[in-house]
Amino acid sequence: MSPDKPQLYLITPPTIDLEVFPETLARVLDAHEVACLRLALATRDEDTILRTGDALRDIAHAHDVAMVISDHVLMVERLGLDGVHLSETNARIRKLRDDMGSDAIIGAFCGTSRHDGMSAGEAGADYISFGPVGQTVLGDGQPVAREIFEWWSEVIELPIVAEGALNLDLVESFAPVTDFFAFGEEIWSEADPVAALSRLTAPLR
């Protein structure tokens, strides 16, 4: 990956088979240079989260990939993770920064709102995620405007992540104006996630 190109960020599937997925993840990380992995399980079952987090953390850290977890702040220390990704804009960021310290990663998903992104950055977030970038039936289905990424990349130094319904054309279009692309179901839903990620990231090479 060229040093001036966006980096890769992976989001786990909402449901994970620990008999299969860890090996799949390892193959993807062997083949691609990834900066961060987000554990984003749908379940709230503590035991499931702990077992999955343990398994994936070892693989991520063995590949020098930072690992964060969606929302479950108290799991960060228990699992030895690098930080937390907040899936909703909220006022907790400043307190979390105080509680977690300067080394912890705090990411914030801000939907399509530039204002929310700026507020999260001022409160101490390490990166802002905007999305969905592509067309989706999730949420209100409204994609984030490319103009937000353009403005942000020109004015704000805080890194931004593009996520949600990404495809090859969108990767090519947003590559000049984002710092990270976050891929989830775009690759895990394919028979060969390694090949799927190769296809989607072709414009970055």
Is position 135 within any domain? yes
Q: Give this prediction's pTM.
A: 0.96
On whether residue 174 sits in a domain, the answer given is yes
* pLDDT digits (tens), the chain, 205 positions: 445 799 999 999 999 999 999 999 999 999 999 999 999 999 999 999 999 999 999 999 999 999 999 999 999 999 999 999 999 867 689 999 999 999 999 999 999 999 999 999 999 999 999 999 999 876 677 999 999 999 999 999 999 999 999 999 999 999 999 999 999 999 999 999 999 999 999 999 9
Q: Is the dihedral of CA 51, 88, 196, 158 positive or negative?
A: negative
Taking each helix axis from N to C end, the angle separating 46-62 and 21-31, rounded to the nearest 10 degrees, works out to: 30
Bridge partners of residue 20, in order along the sequence = none
> Closest Cα partner for 37 from 48, 26, 46, 45?
26
Peptide bond before residue 132 is cis, with ω within 30 degrees of 0: yes
Q: At what angle do helices 114-123 and 146-155 cross, to 10 degrees?
A: 40
Q: Which domain holds residue 40?
A: 7-204
Q: What span, in angstroms and rounded, lies between the C-alpha atoms of 153 and 23?
A: 36
> Has residue 49 been placed in a domain?
yes
Residue 24 belongs to some domain of the structure? yes
Number of domains in the chain: 1
For residue 1, tell me if it sits in a domain: no
Is position 14 within any domain? Answer: yes
* 2 assigned to some structural domain: no
Which burial class, exposed, middle or buried, applies to 42 when counting CB atoms under 10 A from its CB (0-12, 13-18, 19+)? exposed
- We report the CATH number of the domain holding residue 109 as 3.20.20.70
DSSP 8-state code for residue 88: S
